[in-house]
């Protein structure tokens, strides 16, 4: 009885990896839209450009929780550039796919990773990701359609 989701999505939803906060995080990113209410917050610890630890908190559907969980697994131990290359599609594929209407929940996960790294870069170099735009109306539309 997994509804519209793959066994892997249900596994990450029921047993999410890396849930929680990192009080002394090197970067924190929060994405989502207060209007739609889906919110994802990601914390990273970085050492020598390597993401040594990552945790998340998510308010959202099963797919939003599963994609957050999977995204943390995919970037843990990776360097910053590898993490920045993570796409929402890769997250969805790692979960054996998402139902089409939920595909865009994975966008939140990709954005949360980028937001956390952006925050880390600002804190350490004074300069964020070029062209990085925090979440806005367009992300909301990505996630929930029109």
Partner 1 sequence: MPDERIYLDYAATTPVDGRVRAAMGPYHSEKFGNPSSLHSFGQETRAALEKAREQVAALIGALPGEIVFTSGGTEADNFALEGIAFANENKGNHIITSAVEHHAVLHCCEFLKKRGCEITVLPVDGSGLVSPEAVAGALTPRTVLVSIMHANNEIGTIEPVAEIAEAIKSRVAGRESRVYFHTDAVQTAGHIPVNVNDLGVDLLAISAHKLYGPKGVGCLYVRKGTRLAPLLHGGAQENNRRASTENVPGIVGFGAAAELARSEMAEESKKLLPLRDKLMNGLLTRIPDVRLNGHPARRLPNNVNVSVKYIEGESMLLNLDLLGIAASSGSACTSGSLDPSHVLMAIGLPHEIAHGSLRFTLGQQTTEAEIDYVLEKLPPVIEKLRAMSPLYPGGKK
Q: Which of 36, 61, 84, 122 is catalytic?
A: 36
Q: Of 63 and 86, which has the nearer Cβ to ligand FES?
A: 63
Site string for partner 1, 50-69 (x = CB under 8 A): -------xxxxxx-xx----
Please pick, from the candidates 11, 12, 40, 76, the single residue that binds partner 1 as defined by CB under 8 A. Answer: 40
In Å, what is the CA distance from 18 to each residue of 32, 50, 61, 130? Answer: 19, 17, 17, 28
For residues 136 and 65, what is the distance between their CA atoms, to the nearest angstrom? 20
Which residues 89-128 are close enough to bind ligand FES by CB under 6 A?
102, 105
125 binds, among partner 1, ligand FES, none (CB under 5 to 8 A by kind): none
List, as own/partner pairs, every contact residues 57-62 make where C-beta atoms lie below 8 angstroms and the sequence separation is at least 24, other chains included: 57/19, 57/20, 57/21, 58/108, 59/32, 60/32, 60/105, 60/108, 61/102, 61/105, 62/3, 62/5, 62/9, 62/10, 62/13
Q: Report, in Å, the least distance between residue 35 CB and partner 1.
A: 6
Which residues 33-72 are close enough to bind ligand FES by CB under 6 A?
38, 60-61, 63-64
Structure tokens at 76: 């843990």
Q: Report, in Å, the least distance between residue 62 CB and ligand FES.
A: 8
Q: Where are the alpha helices (DSSP H) in the chain?
A: 7-14, 62-75, 80-84, 88-94, 105-125, 137-144
Check residue 24 for interaction with partner 1 (CB under 8 A).
no
Select the span of 6-14, 44-52, 83-91, 122-130 touching partner 1 (CB under 8 A).
6-14
For the annotated catalytic residues, the residue numbers are 36, 105
């Amino acid at each position: 009885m997994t509804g519209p989701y793959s066994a892997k999505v249900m596994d990450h939803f029921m047993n999410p990896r890396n849930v929680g906060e990192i009080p002394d995080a090197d970067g924190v990113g929060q994405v989502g839209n207060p209007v739609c209410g889906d919110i994802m917050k990601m914390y990273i610890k970085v050492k020598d450009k390597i993401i040594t630890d990552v945790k998340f908190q998510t308010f959202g559907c099963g797919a939003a929780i599963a994609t957050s969980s999977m995204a943390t697994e995919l970037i843990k131990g990776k360097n910053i550039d590898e993490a920045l290359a993570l796409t929402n599609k890769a997250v969805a594929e790692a979960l054996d796919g998402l139902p089409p209407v939920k595909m865009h929940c994975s966008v939140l996960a990709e954005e949360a990773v980028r937001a956390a790294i952006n925050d880390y870069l600002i804190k350490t170099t004074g300069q964020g990701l070029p062209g990085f735009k925090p979440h806005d109306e367009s992300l909301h539309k990505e996630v929930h359609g029109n």
